[in-house]
Structure 1
Amino acid sequence: MSKTILVTGAGRGLGRTLAEQLSARGDKVIAHARTESALDGVPHEAKLVLDLAEPAAIADAVTGLGLDRLDGVIHNAGIAHIAPVADQTLEWWEQTLRINVTAPAELTRVLLPALRAARGHVVFVNSGAGIASGPKWSSYAASKHALKALADALRGEEQPNGVRVTSVYPSHFDTDMQRSVREQYDAEYDRSRATSPESIAKTITDLFHTPEDMVINELRIEPPNPLPIRARS
């Protein structure tokens, strides 16, 4: 049966791949991006054009979609500033927490009536940094730890309403963000040792077709032989 699923950050990378795979399976995609032009070439039935750095605008934007039911939302959009704590500016901290935590919380809140009506599924694309932090990861890892807390709280609250919640922790997969992170670390990058976005996307899209008598609460994904992030000597 076709499902209607909202994907944030659908303009590029994993989000675009998710939209492509969901559409290929016959699902209806509501694609989110900051600009309409970012969605050029992205398959979608409807669009949500919105800057997640402005969470106060989310409620009005979602109201414009007129959703009575929603089978799922994939919180994929995110931002990362990689630097030591000494160099992490207040602006970086506030921007990271707004986009990575506050916006998913507010978007979920606004979508909950439609998700409850469909007994839908909320998927948070987290990160290995949401499990363990390290040097230069402070603001990003803090936001991803907070995202885990949001998911855990939501799961307990919405179980009686039939809404399923999954946190996905991908690590070292081939995206622009991963390459940018390694550039900021002055570290080597080898895409042959990273998981492909197609593999990550398939794993996530499969979550929406799991049997109704089960839920996958957390899912960790790693390549078989990941290349550690280390500065070149």
Structure 2
Amino acid sequence: MPHTHVLTGAGSGIGEVVARRLADRGDRLVLLARDEARAAELVERFGADGAIVADLRHPESLADAVARASLPARIDSVIHAAGIVELGTVAELTVEKWTSQLLVNLVSAAELTRLVLPAVRAARGQVLFVNSGAGLTAHPEWSAYAASKHALKALADALRGEEAPHGVRVTTVYPGRTATPMQQKVHEQEGRDYDASAFIDPESVATAILTALDLPRDAVISDLTVRPGPR
């Protein structure tokens, strides 16, 4: 029986690969998009069942967007794959760069989870957060992004304990540097040349995500770190 997944970040990178893999196996998708044009493009690309139209920089808009989307009563998983990154030292980072990363990477994930949780509970489903190695260790110039991802880990850990009595599994995946458009942007911010072959293929991260989603119900992968293999 096909499962239903709500997915953010389907437009590129890891989220795009996960969306394609789920669609190819016949699962139903509801994709979050920032505007109507983007929603129509993503729905057509993946044959999705619907879309939630909202800007993750404005989490206060999510409640109305979810209400307009007429989501199914049962949702097997919500997959948080969207994210933004702005590097800089603490001495240089502006309030806007701090705020935007916290809103997109953390607050919107918490709010979307809250809104769809009744349907996830009904399916005894799963919430999966695509975090980052920065969610475990913070390096120079990564303070704001790492803070948002450390907080995302805290969100997942608290949610896991809260939702276990409802049969909801919670997973965090921590990919290392992965060959995505975000990684290319990071290299531009770092002033370094970008070579996609030096990093994890997003297909490999998607395989890890699907493994966590497809695990039999007698177990849960709570935390999964994906690192580059030997070259």
CA shift for structure 1 position 174: 0.5
* Of 103-112 and 184-193, the range deviating more from structure 2: 184-193
Contact 1:11–1:32 (CA under 8 A) maintained in structure 2: no
User: Does residue 65 of the first structure (1) align with residue 69 of the second (2)?
Assistant: yes
**Given the alignment, which residue of 12, 37, 42 partners 2:45?**
42
CA shift for structure 1 position 225: 4.0
Contact 2:102–2:148 (CA under 8 A) maintained in structure 1: yes
- Paired AA for residue 55 in structure 2: D
Unaligned runs of 5+ in 1: 227-233
TM-score (norm 1): 0.93
Partner of 1:132: 137
Contact 1:193–1:225 (CA under 8 A) maintained in structure 2: no
TM superposition outliers: structure 1 runs of 4+ over 6 Å: none
Partner of 1:230: none
**Given the alignment, which residue of 148, 151, 160 partners 1:155?**
160
Partner of 2:222: 217
Query: Deviation digits for residues 102-141 of structure 1, max 9, x if unmatched?
Result: 1000110111100100001000000000000011001000
Partner of 2:2: 2
> What is the aligned-residue identity percentage?
49
Contact 1:158–1:164 (CA under 8 A) maintained in structure 2: yes
CA distance in 2, matches of 1:202, 1:63: 32
CA RMSD, 1 decimal: 1.3
**Given the alignment, which residue of 108, 116, 119 partners 1:111?**
116
Unaligned runs of 5+ in 2: none
- Paired AA for residue 67 in structure 2: T
CA distance in 2, matches of 1:198, 1:161: 31
Partner of 1:202: 207
Partner of 1:12: 12
The DSSP-based 3-state class of the residue aligned with 2:30 is: strand
**Given the alignment, which residue of 137, 154, 167 partners 2:172?**
167
CA distance in 1, matches of 2:128, 2:106: 13
The DSSP-based 3-state class of the residue aligned with 1:143 is: helix
Partner of 1:120: 125
Kindly report which structure 2 residues correspond to 1:77-96, keeping only aligned pairs within 5 A, or say none. Answer: 77-96=82-101
CA distance in 2, matches of 1:13, 1:124: 15
TM-score (norm 2): 0.94
CA distance in 1, matches of 2:219, 2:20: 26
Aligned length in residues:
226
Contact 1:2–1:26 (CA under 8 A) maintained in structure 2: yes
Contact 2:172–2:223 (CA under 8 A) maintained in structure 1: yes
- Paired AA for residue 54 in structure 2: L
Contact 2:12–2:180 (CA under 8 A) maintained in structure 1: no
CA shift for structure 1 position 179: 1.1
CA 1:225–1:36: 2 relative to 1, 3 Å: farther
The DSSP-based 3-state class of the residue aligned with 1:86 is: coil
